Structure 1
Amino acid sequence: MQTLTLGAGCFWCLDAVYQRTHGVSSVVSGYTGGHVDHPTYEQVCAETTGHAEALQVTFDPEIVPEHIILGLFFTGHDPTSLNRQGNDAGTQYRSAMFYRDEDEKSRFAQIIEQVQTQIERPVVTTLEPLGTFWEAETIHQDFYSKYPTNGYCRFIVEPKLATARAHFHEWVA
């Protein structure tokens, strides 16, 4: 099993995608990249912690390769938008890849370079060392499955899930 920690704006969107991806065994929404221990959602949203909303996605690379997980990451948000995804604005919504070691940092840098060749605007996804990952409150875990009729889910999450299914139909149910 392999775990990647990724920040792509609101964690509800990619959580919904990865929860439906073949070979993914665990998706945990949380906070990382900041300086406050045990941050709350309210603290992170106030932009006083330095943390980003992020996901830890654990998958079996024998079933779903890392490049598919990362492809879903770049498909699931706008990596050219600095500290903003749609109406969600602030540093907690930054596009970020949190690396565990130099090898992972190098792989992340390579995929950013590859994505940049396919996009005209500059990719602003940051590479940040993974510090402590703080699990988000229970309400944020698998949010889309629990609240599919929520307005945010219907108008923001569902289109992103549809895009992931269109581009990665063999991987996303």
Structure 2
Amino acid sequence: MVASVLDPCCGGRMMWFDPSDQRCLFGDVRDETVSVTDRSHQEDGKRVIEVHPDVRFDFRGMPFDDETFHLVVFDPPHLVRAGRRSWMAAKYGKLGADWRDDMRQGFAECFRVLRPHGVLIFKWNETQVPVAQVLSCTSEKPLFGHRSGKRSGTHWMTFIKGSAIKRTPPAPQPTTSPA
């Protein structure tokens, strides 16, 4: 079976009900197991995250043909400030200083590999970067979304490729004269 869904920033596949679902191709720039000491979690302070994608690639330049996938789930790193050995950086990854260019390229790549009328699910946590700044990195507009999380800082948004529909006004209806 060929995967019809792409997760180009899969990380530890934490949001997936089935992290080995064969309908999805899991990609990430990282392929690693990271162990971090973080005393806030367990008595021994050990936390481990495993990032093992099906295919290793950078979301800014994906190795797929145009219009390959029906659905893309884009959950890129959202931190710009995090310690080198922090649990949050290990778990979610970290954006560089040129994160706006990275996000422009990432959105462009996600829409490029989507089939016409394909769906992009975008997840963003605005703890460090407001969602409006990230959305300014694409000309596409989300169709609808939802906020979640402890402080409603995580945004889930749905885009449809090619959804800019030119609306034509309805044709005038014939009027009937009163009898």
TM-based fold match above 0.5: no
Which one has a larger percent strand, Structure 1 or Structure 2? 2
Q: TM-score under structure 2 normalisation?
A: 0.28
Which one has a larger percent helix, Structure 1 or Structure 2? 1
Q: Which has the larger radius of gyration?
A: 2
Q: TM-score under structure 1 normalisation?
A: 0.29
